[in-house]
Amino acid sequence: MNAPASENHDSDATDTSALDLSVAFFCSVLVLFVFVAFNLDDREPLPDQDSLGQEALTVAAEPGMWGAVVPSGRFAVMTDDTLYVVNLARVAQGIVVPSEQVSTDRAWGNYSDVAGFAANQFTYRLNLNLTDPEPDLIRESIVLNGSEFACPDWPVRSDLAVFVPDGAFDLGPLLAFGATCNLALRIEPVFDPEETIASIFFGRSAASYAGERMFR
């Protein structure tokens, strides 16, 4: 009674082991498919393209921010590879004493006061020859050539408004300069790159603070 049962059990084991083996083999082939990719395309794979996107250093994009005290800033004009930082103290001297205002064919300015309650409401238009800048009006000339530049030795204030030519202009070196020297840059494309005279305009009035303008 026992012998046939045992024999029957052995033959069952033999049958299933063959099945197990075939299933295991089939699975291992399936697993190989995971690691092997077949290229069914007979064309050469394309080389990796260089990105046409941002090439300059990544610059922190911070939204415009309101502060109870807006730090006093500096202004600069950028040409091909040179940043001319405007000597605002010299401009201010010209405002107070009109006879001392810089007035040559390389640089001249116009001051006018704005009607209103506050005494410090004004507009000032400064014209600068960029091919041959008036040295009296330039505090510093910083050549931004690749990554070799020295950071300016300015006190705590680090806001810099830069007027750049309107149109195609490589901002990479300027952005790298701003990021390396920890400056808060405000870039304003204003003047025609074909012109040799840059006309830049600064001013302040009660309208400067109207609505959401003060956040920018």
Residue ranges that bind another protein, judged by CB under 8 A:
63-66, 68-72, 74, 87-89, 91-93, 95-96, 111, 113, 115-122, 124, 139, 155-157, 202, 204-212, 214-215
Q: Shortest distance, CB of residue 137 to another protein, whole angstroms?
A: 12
Beta pairing, strands 197-204 & 122-129: antiparallel
Closer residue to another protein, CB minimum distance, 47 or 155: 155
Q: How far apart are CA 209 and CA 14, in angstroms?
A: 91
In whole angstroms, how close is the CB of 122 to another protein at the nearest point? 4
Task: Identify which of 74, 79, 92 has the alpha carbon closest to the alpha carbon of residue 181.
Answer: 74
- Quote the least distance from Cβ 68 to another protein, whole Å: 4
| 161: β partners | 75, 186
At closest approach, how far in Å is the CB of 97 from another protein? 9
Residue with tokens 């730090």: 71
Q: How many residues does the chain have?
A: 216
Q: Which is nearer to another protein, 57 or 92 (CB)?
A: 92
* Amino acid code (one letter) for 26: F
Query: Is 71 or 146 the residue whose CB approaches another protein more closely?
Result: 71
Which residue number, 52 or 68, has a Cβ lying nearer to another protein? 68
Q: Measure Cα distances from 44 to 37, 39, 123 in Å.
A: 15, 10, 63
| Cα gap 142→183, rounded to integer Å | 14
Q: How far is the CB of 159 from another protein (least distance, A)?
A: 10
The torsion angles phi and psi of 27, rounded to 5 degrees, stand at: -65, -40
> Cβ(116)–Cβ(204) under 8 Å?
no
Q: Which is nearer to another protein, 196 or 208 (CB)?
A: 208
How far apart are the C-alpha atoms of 34 and 27, rounded to whole Å?
11
In this complex, which beta carbon is closest to another protein, that of residue 78 or of residue 165? 78
Shorter beta-carbon distance to another protein: residue 38 or 117: 117
**What is the maximal distance between C-alpha atoms in the chain?**
130
